[in-house]
Amino acid sequence: MPDDLEIARRARLRPIAEIAAMAGIPAEALEPYGRFKAKIGFDFIESLANREDGALVLVTGINPTAAGEGKTTTGIGLVDALNAIGRPAILCLREPSLGPCFGVKGGATGGGRAQIAPMEEINLHFTGDFHAITAANNLLATMLDNHLHYGNALGLDARRILWRRALDVNDRSLRATVIALGGNGPVREDGFDITAASEVMALFCLARDLPDLEARLARVVVAERRDGSMVTARDLHADGAMAALLRDALMPNLVQTLEGSPALVHGGPFANIAHGCNSVMATRLGLKLAPIVVTEAGFGADLGAEKFFDIKCRLAGLTPAVAVVVTTVRALKLHGGAAKRALETEDVGAVERGIANLARHVENVKKFGVPVLVALNSFTSDTAAEIGAVKRAMAARAVETALCTHWADGAAGAAGLARAVVARLEEGGTRFAPLYPDDLPLAEKIRVVAREIYHASDIEIPPAVARRLASFEAAGFAKVPVCIAKTQYSFSADPTRLGAPEGHVLPIRAVRLSAGAGFVVTLAGEILTMPGLPRVPAAEQIGLGPDGRVSGLF
């Protein structure tokens, strides 16, 4: 059987101008990057301002497992299926980070017949957006240290430097560093976050347009003075140069699925340590171009979907119409206690026990007032009894389950899901509202998410962290949402607690103010903002074949 890369190479991609025309984008609005990808100009985007919005469909999932769930492939298959049944749709996805590509996960462009393309280019450098974000982040860091070197006229407290450098690879050795050795300025501790977890990535993805991007960059807090007052990128006169680096990157990217559906792929924050959604620019553009927009939020619904609803939709004024929760029989078995080596063997009992995880996510999404469907991403090892157990459990909760085979069958394999989505859209009935109000204290916002979404009994906030939250509120950031960074593998902060644990206490280790993005980041448990490579990284299998083509990128 051909692998994902070979399937992608055999597909006949259409010139990007043809894909644009399908979406109603004129050729003069494109900034082409080769034959099969392009950016879309700001003037055209602004010309659509008065056009009515389409319906927004979110694809989310259960807590991820080693068996895989397939949210990205499901989103791609759903858009292809919607277009195939005559319901025009556009896909909005995040750009892949090099960290997972070279780490554990490999590429992030889907799989089988449900892929976006050109696969190698999207997974590697694409249109350079990640590089621009990394450069803007590190320019600010450099200008901050340059300011210290030349006398520190702003009176920054060297013990309260908050801004960290960024790099788009997994490098645990850079989590904590010491800089300026050798007489090159004030020696101090520093560190790196992965680009996908940086505040520049977050504010980039939440910006509505160039002026909003510039305003967000100006608000970024880089340090504090001894009296606790904040120093911003604007104070360092760095925001203009950062905006210049990000200008072209802010234009959304257009590519296609293997079946020729338009796909806007833009921005790439992680969902475990950031807010996990593609850019507001791309989503709002998609809603102007198509009657249906399908987007994805990273990892499980406890992280990606919660942040999509409570951060992105709140700040961008979006109203999701339907949510699809993706699961697999294999993943449910793992949540039900089955061993990974036994996933090919029928085990209805393990499936039934693992359904607790799926049911928790479904009920959580309902708390936001959004209609829910379940997409059961099928594997050949699934049995009728196992599939039946999932369908019965969801039917008991008045939730429809669509069996999907889009990896193998493309659009035809997601036709049932597409029809179910259309039926929900025609029924209407969304009563979307964020989980908590703006004026709730920051600690209480964290507590609401912990109790309502993670089913924790409470949160544990050390006194120093509580004082930090109070300082954010005193500085005028009391009404912003919270972005909880937590392990993706469990509802708790313990990645080994699978299924649907409850009654646990969520430990809050630290908090960070992302003033430019407009939220407070909460680090829960042993979560890290710079991942490390595994013992055998995916990078060891990636290279060039005799024909000069990339190999091993899956």
What letter does residue 514 receive in the DSSP assignment? E
pLDDT recorded at residue 473: 97
**Domain covering 132-247, topology:** Domain 2, N(10)-formyltetrahydrofolate synthetase (3.30.1510)
- Domain 442-524: what homologous superfamily? Formyltetrahydrofolate synthetase, domain 3 (3.10.410.10)
pLDDT recorded at residue 378: 95
pLDDT recorded at residue 12: 86
148 phi-psi bin (left φ>0, alpha ψ -120 to 50, beta other): alpha
The answer to whether residues 468 and 316 touch, using CB atoms and an 8 Å cutoff, is: no
* CB crowding 227-241: b at 16 or more within 10 Å, else e: eeebbbbbbbebbeb
**Domain covering 4-129+249-326+405-427, topology:** Rossmann fold (3.40.50)
Is beta strand 262-265 parallel, antiparallel or unpaired with respect to 89-93?
parallel
pLDDT recorded at residue 267: 97
How many CA atoms, within 13 angstroms, populate the side-chain half-sphere of residue 142? 9
DSSP per-residue string spanning 274-334 = S--B--HHHHHHHHHH-SEEEEEBSS-IIIIIHHIIIIIIHHHT--EEEEEEEE-HHHHHH
The answer to whether residues 206 and 196 touch, using CB atoms and an 8 Å cutoff, is: no
Q: Where do the structural domains in the chain lie, given as residue ranges?
A: 4-129+249-326+405-427, 132-247, 442-524
Q: What is the pLDDT along the chain (554 residues), one digit of tens a residue?
A: 566 666 666 678 999 999 999 999 999 999 999 999 999 999 999 999 999 999 999 999 999 998 888 999 999 999 999 999 999 999 999 999 999 889 886 778 999 999 999 999 999 999 999 999 999 999 999 999 999 999 999 999 999 999 999 999 999 999 999 999 998 888 999 999 999 999 999 999 999 999 999 999 999 999 999 999 999 999 999 999 999 999 999 999 999 999 999 999 999 999 999 999 999 999 999 999 999 999 999 999 999 999 999 999 999 999 999 999 999 999 999 999 999 999 999 999 999 999 999 999 999 999 999 999 999 999 999 999 999 999 999 999 999 999 999 999 999 999 999 999 999 999 988 899 999 999 999 999 999 999 999 999 999 999 999 999 999 999 999 999 999 999 999 999 999 999 999 999 999 999 999 999 999 999 999 998 999 999 999 899 899 989 888 888 86
| DSSP H or E run through 465 | helix 463-472
CA distance 528 to 378: 33
DSSP per-residue string spanning 150-209 = TT-TT-EEEEEE---EEESS--GGGSSEEE-TTTSS--EEE-EEEGGGSHHHHHHHH-SS
pLDDT recorded at residue 245: 98
Catalytic residues: 71, 73, 94, 105, 271, 299, 379, 407
pTM of the predicted model as reported, rounded to 2 decimal places? 0.95
- 320 forms bridges with which residues in the sheet? 56
pLDDT recorded at residue 107: 76
Is beta strand 55-61 parallel, antiparallel or unpaired with respect to 320-327?
parallel
What's the full length of the chain, in residues? 554
CA distance 390 to 352: 7
Tokens of 366: 């309902």
- What percentage of the chain reaches a pLDDT higher than 90? 91
CA distance 197 to 100: 13
pLDDT recorded at residue 4: 63
pLDDT recorded at residue 69: 86
CA distance 228 to 450: 29
pLDDT recorded at residue 68: 80
